[in-house]
Structure 1
Amino acid sequence: MATRARRRRWSSLLGATALAVTGGGALACPAGAAPTNVDFATHCIPPDIAGIPPIDGTTTASVAVDNASPKVGDTVTVTYTVVKPAANNPTAIALPADIMTPTGKVTLGGAQTGEVTVAGPKKNDPVPGNGAFPSFSMTGTFRVTAPGSITLSPGDYNIHTSYILELDTPCTVITPPAPVSETITATDGNPTNNRAIALSSASGDPGDSVTVSGSDFTPGATVTLAGRSGGTQTADKATVTAGANGSFSGSLVVNDKTTTGVVAYEGSAWSAEKGAGPAAYVVNDDTPVPDGSQKLTTTVKAGTLSMSQAGDSVQLSAVDFGEGGASTGALQTVTVEDFRGGPAGWSLTGKVTDFTGPGAKIDAGKLKWTPACATKAGSPSTCRTGSSGTVGSAGATLASTPNGTLTGGEFTVDAGLSLDVPAFTPPGSYAAVLTLTLS
């Protein structure tokens, strides 16, 4: 029976002649570290129609990342969760479900400074009149441009409600920056593309303009600013010229209500090699409802990155004492489901321990694999196989998908396994642990 869990870390056991599951049959699946909640003083301004003064309160929030050890040039997905907002529903009118769209900023510090624009889906539980706003999460991405320790702190956020009226409740950090919630350590990956963009706002009404600031573009290059709707470019475009230092600042008027982000790129068409983004952006749907009509809305909820495997043990073929040679088998099929709906790809890596047996061991570097992966039809991403060769204790990549404007899908990953057993290895059973990590 397939084992399944929405966790990032899995372990399967390999044996040269026999295998037993450790821990009474339980898979070793250590959970990742939980994000750190921090409290900070916040100044919130209720809509004018509420007729109440600004609110000074405390926000409890956290920042999480999908990769705490990126290389320079990698794109990191950031999730900003407001656990407890400082503001309540400013009116006595109860708000129904799924009318609240949050946006905000995450502040970077340390080796890399700046802000990350984040936005959340229109998803919330009902809010009673004058009741507390529920917890909400927002996501965005940034490209790592410098090696070293990079801190992430929650920043300003805005709660937009679309019910009867379009109302905003902006909340700002009174003494910025807020306390650090997450720290990542970036290593020098010798990137070929350090281009980056930031937006002046994460949301707006149709026809509003957003200021796009860019850095590390080719000096003097014509840069196109464009809206994106998932994986498709919208008709909203503008151009700007990069300065002598590769930076620019330009305005983009956004009309398309399906917009999910903004990109900037050099050349005639978008490419990840000569572009930056997407930076999260949402357009408030202010379409009036005609008399006698009803406005219908729905929400596509972002899911998770998860994996399952067809089993937790592999029996490799036996070899003869005195001859040794290849002890072969096949990895239990791994199924990866990427239902996040964001710009980040994923990587599935593996590493193995030494094979231990009766008073002897077979070095981990003797295990090799030949990866294979398949992509389910209709998936936005395409699975890439890792390189054939040694797995070892240092590890190797089994499969991956690249970053993109819209990623996701379902994938199956397999691998042929071959353990090079030395000729006069003492007879008996040898076992090792192969750990697969999805990130």
Structure 2
Amino acid sequence: MPSAAPRSPRSTGPRRRWTAVLGVLALVVGATALAAPARALVAAAAPVDFATHCVPPPIAGIPPIDGTTTAQIAVDKATPKVGDTVTVTYTVTKPAASNPVDLALPADIMTPSGKVTLGGAQPGSVTVTGPKKNPPVPGKGAFPAFSMTGTFTVTKPGSITLSPGDYNIHTSYIMELDTPCTVTDPPAPVSETITATEQPGANERSITLATASGKPGDQVGVSGAKFTPLADITLVGRAGAAQTADRATVKANASGGFTASLTVNDKATTGIVAFEGAAWDDQKGAGPAAYTVIDDTPLPDNSQKLNASVVAGTLSMSQAGDTVEMSAVDFGAGGSATGDLRTVTVKDFRGGPAGWSLTGKVTDFTGPGGSKIGAAKLGWTPACTTRPGSPSTCAAGSAGPVGSAGATLASTANGTLTGGEFTVDAKVTLDVPAFTAPGAYSGVLTLTLS
């Protein structure tokens, strides 16, 4: 139940842009041992201010609030390719409202949600949500900052702008209440800009079926386009990620197209793929195109046939926090600053043949007066755990330096059927040279799942 916060002037100066990240590492070089490590901030675009109209819950008995929100947008990929999934983080550093009453609000009752506005080459919006988490809010105190995340898929090359959009603060204390806040003069100022490029060597092969279903033994017409001219093409039935007994071959014409028939006998077939050569290659294949075998086998008397399906999902990751505090190192002695990477959870629910790789790269650690500790000084010892029952087994990357070139944190191999849920951790160590200038140093570790 908010009230107006003081209006702050909209920034008109140049905005400093940063590559968005999935982790920050920080340490302190001090004059004595066990100096308290400094707090590190996630690198992101500079905050922007925009006028906001907030409507308190009717029970609050106060009029709408016209105030100023300060917010910023961060992304995990500053230069994505078409087809990439970009994770967006919308952080409201200063809401346009505060607690209007003397009653203190307890911790973990606020759940934020909102929209990020896309512009430029790919106009649209991204839905973002945040966790139900907040510190206690004293009576008449300012509402705390909060972050919300969401994803979108890049569909067009070019410059894509990201601006803060409308947001809502839902509170669950005594009653379930909402405080929606809308951008007074949309769109809000641009907080981040990414540059998308075409996917190099993108596989444009495609297939279409003349019919989507048939009885066992029926032939289905299959047409293909943009295959390698005059290549030998294999047509195969699929049951999920596994191949069925249905198989045929055809040669592409001089334009890379083909038309063929595939006899479908296997009742397990749920899709059809086409690929160049004798073995499936997702870079030289197309499909699966959905196909249903209509089982016409007569049922015994007084019986019923039960059908079920399993729907494939996506490859995703999340992390338990975005800041790592590393141990302090003495000035003059140098040595190792150590810490634990925030746990990363990878969920591979695609149910296909492809494995995945999680890699990381780090920037130089910057400190007071432009002092630096090189990225090559950071090393890690990865660890990876596979959830029981997962088809794939997670392999931890090799212990060693991370650096600006990057290294593998964890991965799974390709297989007939892959997937599962995995937790990834790492011990991180920064080799701090002796007589490094005292002060707080921060570097940015970016993780990429592919």
Q: TM-score, normalised by structure 1?
A: 0.50
Judging changes above 3 Å, is the alpha-carbon distance between structure 1 residues 245 and 285 closer, same or farther for their aligned structure 2 residues? closer
Residue 238 of structure 1 is aligned with which of 239, 248, 261? Answer: 248
Aligned to 2:190: none
2:265 is the alignment partner of 1:255: yes
Q: Is the 8 A contact 2:332 2:434 kept in 1?
A: yes
Contact 1:195 1:275 in 2 (8 A): no
User: What residue is the counterpart of 1:424 in the other structure?
Assistant: 435
Partner of 2:149: none
Instruction: From the superposition, tell whether residues 248 and 236 of structure 1 become closer, same or farther in structure 2 (CA, over 3 Å).
Output: same
Instruction: Provide Cα deviations, 1:262-307, integer angstroms capped at 9, x if missing partner.
Output: 2334555x24288513423231545476663333233324444343
Contact 1:202–1:281, Cα closer than 8 Å, also in 2: no
- Separation in 1, partners of 2:402, 2:267: 48
1:211 matched to 2:222: yes
How far, CA to CA, are the matches of 2:288 and 2:447 in structure 1? 31
The runs of 5 or more residues in structure 1 that have no matched partner are 1-8, 31-65, 78-143, 150-182
Mapped to 2, the partners of 1:70 and 1:401 lie a distance apart of 23
Cα pair distance change 1:379/1:275, threshold 3 Å: farther
Q: Which amino acid aligns with 1:337?
A: K
Partner of 1:224: 234
Q: Is the 8 A contact 2:238 2:288 kept in 1?
A: no
User: Residues 306-355 of structure 1, C-alpha deviation per residue, up to 9 Å, x if partnerless?
Assistant: 43445655443443323434434442332312123346654434344543
Aligned counterparts, 1:71-86, within 5 A:
none
The answer on 1:436 being equivalent to 2:450 is no
- 2:197 alignment counterpart: 185
AA paired with 2:200?
Answer: D
Q: Structure 1 CA distance, aligned partners of 2:380 and 2:211? A: 45
Residue identity opposite 1:409 in structure 2: G
Q: 1:436 corresponds to which letter in structure 2? A: L
1:188 maps to amino acid: P
The CA deviation at 1:234 is 0.6
2:347 maps to 1:341: no
- In structure 2, the CA distance between the partners of 1:236 and 1:197, relative to structure 1 (3 Å rule), is same
Q: Aligned to 2:423, what secondary structure does the other structure show?
A: strand
Identity of aligned pairs, percent? 55
Q: Does the aligned pair in 1 maintain the 2:25–2:443 contact within 8 Å?
A: yes
Shift of 1:226: 0.8
Please give the per-residue CA displacement for 1:25-58, whole angstroms capped at 9, x wherever unaligned: xx8999xxxxxxxxxxxxxxxxxxxxxxxxxxxx
Q: Distance in 1 between matches of 2:210 and 2:427?
A: 49
Note if contact 1:197-1:277 (Cα within 8 Å) is conserved in structure 2.
yes
Measured after TM superposition, the shift of residue 187 of structure 1 is: 4.4
**TM-score using structure 2 length:** 0.49
Name the structure 2 match of 1:11.
22
Query: Contact 2:22 / 2:322 at 8 angstroms: preserved in 1?
Result: yes
Residue identity matched to 2:238: R
Partner AA of 1:365 in structure 2: A
**1:244 CA displacement:** 5.2
Cα deviation for residue 16 of structure 1 reads 2.4
Aligned partner of residue 11 in structure 1, secondary structure: coil
Distance in 1 (alpha carbons) for counterparts of 2:282 and 2:229: 12
**In 2 relative to 1, CA 198–383 (structure 1 residues): closer, same or farther, beyond 3 Å?**
farther
- Is 1:282 aligned to 2:291, yes or no? yes
- How do 1:264-303 residues align onto structure 2 when only pairs under 5 Å count? 264-265=274-275, 268=278, 270-272=279-281, 275-283=284-292, 285=294, 287=296, 292-303=302-313
Q: Counterparts of 1:212 and 1:344 in 2: how far apart (Å)?
A: 25
Distance 1:280 1:70 in 2: 25
CA distance in 2 between counterparts of 1:402 and 1:203 reads 32
Matching residue's letter, 2:221:
V
After superposition, where does 1:8-47 map in structure 2 within 5 Å?
11-17=22-28, 19=37
Q: Distance in 1 between matches of 2:281 and 2:393?
A: 16
**CA drift at 1:203:** 2.3
In 2, Cα distance between equivalents of 1:434 and 1:226: 43
Q: 1:199 aligns with which of 190, 208, 226?
A: 208
CA distance in structure 2 between the partners assigned to 1:395 and 1:417 by the alignment? 14
Q: How many residues align?
A: 285
Q: Quick one: structure 1 residues 271 and 384, their matched pair in 2 at CA, closer, same or farther if it must change by over 3 Å?
A: farther
Deviation at 1:261, TM superposition (A): 2.9
> Hey, what's the Cα distance between the residues in 2 that align with 1:239 and 1:232?
18
Aligned runs of 1:145-164 on 2, under 5 Å?
none
Relative to 1, partners in 2 of residues 1:208 and 1:234: Cα closer, same or farther, differing over 3 Å?
Answer: same
What one-letter code is carried by the residue in structure 2 that aligns with 1:260?
T
In structure 2, the CA distance between the partners of 1:378 and 1:240, relative to structure 1 (3 Å rule), is farther
Deviation at 1:243, TM superposition (A): 4.1
Distance verdict in 2 for CA 1:195–1:429, change over 3 Å: closer
Provide, for residues 4-28 of structure 1, a one-character-per-residue CA deviation record: whole Å limited to 9, x for no partner. Answer: xxxxx973442224556668xxx89
Judge conservation of contact 1:335–1:410 (CA < 8 Å) in 2: yes
Q: Distance in 1 between matches of 2:255 and 2:394?
A: 37
Residue deviations 1:110-152 (CA, integer Å, cap 9, x gap):
xxxxxxxxxxxxxxxxxxxxxxxxxxxxxxxxxx9xx977xxx
Q: Aligned partner of 1:431: which letter? A: S
Q: Is the 8 A contact 2:37 2:328 kept in 1?
A: no
Match of 2:425 in 1: 414
SS at match of 1:238: strand
